[in-house]
Structure 1
Amino acid sequence: MTSATTRSSERRVSPVFLGIGAIMAVTGWAVWADSSPSLGFAVFLFVTAAWIVSLCLHEYAHARTALHSGDLTVAAKGYLTLNPLKYTHAVLSIVLPVLFVIMGGIGLPGGAVFIERHRIRGRWKHSLISAAGPLTNVLFAVVCTAPFWLGALDGVPLAFRFALAFLALLQVTAAILNFLPVPGLDGYGVIEPWLSPGFRRQVEPYAPFGLLAVFGILFIPEVNHAFFDAIFALMDGLGVSRAEVACGQDLYRFWTEQYPVCTEAVSR
């Protein structure tokens, strides 16, 4: 019998997600314990796996909120299993965000699960479904930055500290970008139920290009500098310095040597 709680098989955590989580745990331990030349590769795997985990949780939050709001179809689609291969656009949801991190060190949001909105009644429910994803990134950012703003870094190896700082940057940028009121992003989904039907019909054709527009605008040097100045001001408020983030990104991009002083510091 299918109900709002769904069948157990439809919400059983997928082996794919468990595998990614295992990679995150093992490489996280390796980053904590290791200072060998392979440290950069371990940081790369740890941050990438943790980033994919956060993307899966982001999409799960959308689906779970939709389930409890009236769309029972999300279970049959496999969205509750945390399997990234079940997403409507696996490339947009997982592959592109990972590529953005590798190329530019920015947590650009990906695609989304498909919610059958006609099954849901109430504007507040629609807004909450859209907000649930980026709120997951906010929570992830809080967890990553907690050791910094709690002053609990004694005994934390520098490499792990730097990796956490870079991972926190990804979560903060993902949350902020996702909350932008741009068609196609979650921020627009939050306000869309409150807009007039006529306006929504006019904007709808542009929704598929919203993410590309944001990515293109961030390539404008002035916009890029202003955006990251605001991001780093927020990170400073959370106790994470720009230098720690830069060192984390340097270790992550182990195939380059932008900040060799960071690699030397963790090798001591």
Structure 2
Amino acid sequence: MADDSASEPKPPGSVTKKGGEAWFIEISRDYEKRRAALKDFAAKDGDGWVPKHLAESYRTAADRMRKTWRSHSGMSPGRDGSLRSAFTFDEDGRGDEEEAPPPADNVGDEELMAMMQSRWVEVECLLRVQLRTPDALSEARRRVLASLRFDEGVAAQAASSHQLKGTIFQALLAFADGRAESTAASVACGVGDAEWAELAMGADALRKLVRIKVQDDNDLKAANLALKSCAEFFDNLAVYARRHGLDETEVLPKLEFR
């Protein structure tokens, strides 16, 4: 499959109302293309890994869509991802890609639905879990949060031992796979045997949770971003379900674009 991250749509040269609408339609199509590519790849047989570039490409498109929806009151995506009305845009056509999402309790239902829709495909494709029952959702949420805590722990060990996170992670995986020589001392980590074994269990749990092959620092960063997206999605899902008196599983069918 071709690397969809190689080219991204550019905003129109003139920032006009018509130009803004054209820009939104362009990124809508880009979002749908990347969404379809991620779902298509995740559905294929094989070793079960989703290429990192494909996950990151989809996340970029989803972030652009969500920020565009959020920047204009009264606007939301149609069920086919199309624009309901026309708007003007800032000069660059998008915001800071590292901008934190607003707390779910502080946004309206329409925006909250858009936020969930822009994350649902990623969650469904990148987690190696089923999400169709209350127990499965609860277990997925628990595993995502546990892996995020593990990542923080590895980051702390990397900083204190002046090692790359990827180096420590590989040693932890080797230990989890039964290679006794991959100890904390082998990567200059100042932790005891019990803590090292616990970290190894966390490394094994992470690789079994996400469908991104995790080998080095860049892979760990991609996995961390995916996990944060999943945690955000679960928070938003809980808020939306609580507002409407629904089970979280009853909200999931509403998230598919038709």
Shorter-chain TM band: 0.3 to 0.5
TM-score computed with the length of structure 2 as normaliser: 0.33
Structure holding more helix per residue: 1
